[in-house]
Amino acid sequence: MDDALLAWFGGNGRDLPWRRTRDPYAILVSEVMLQQTQANRVVPRFEEWLARWPMVEALAAAPAADVIRAWQGLGYNRRALNLHRAAAIVAERGWPADLTELPGVGRYTADAIRAFAFGEPVLPEDTNVLRVQERTAHRFGPACGQALMDLGATVCLARVPRCAICPLAEECPSRGRRYEPLRKQSRFEGSFRQRRALALRAVAAGEQPDDAEAVAALARDGLVELRAGVAALPQ
């Protein structure tokens, strides 16, 4: 199956800017952005970010307020702070042997950096990779990482896989199956997450939001600071 997958990837793989570099910092940025955001939305933001902060030292030296403002629209703003803190650690001490020691870096993100930046023989297992492996009942080798991600994102979809065009369909025991969603995504409209986002956007614009509960939650996460009762971005 590995050979069939890699042959398909050779003609169908997505051209994504973070695949054109081995820079661990650039790959860290892309992986953190991709944690809760679709690739097509991440591409322009990734390019803007790297144009502004091309090296890990540049991001580490940036004020946290600028980092939070630059992250607006990507969602889950704590990721921005974690990325900023991780950059500060790397700039000061270098890349740790255990990448999960960096803020916001879990097992998958660590493995992605190890594989795509440092060339280590490890298979990063995100949702798409795990789905394809489960359905095919096949354990793919480390060279298949990006190919599995693309197959899962474009062909072996979560609910209605496109088996008719899948390069693995002939040997796949799950061919033709349909799936129920594992869980429903909670609504953003009207949620507390939306209130937090609106409050943070207001603070970033120099305004004072009137949602005290949302501001308090942002302060607990370190996304805003309260100075004499006035909310401001951290410096």
Active centre residues (catalytic): 31
57: tokens are: 């030292």
Decide: helix, strand or coil at residue 170.
helix
Query: Using CA atoms, how far apart are residues 225 and 210, in angstroms rounded to an integer?
Result: 15
CA 230 to chain centre: 32
Cα angle for residues 33, 152, 47 (degrees, 5° grid): 25
Name the residue with tokens 């798409």: 128
**The length of the chain, given as a count of residues:** 235
Name the residue with tokens 């088996």: 163
Q: What is the amino acid identity at position 27?
A: I
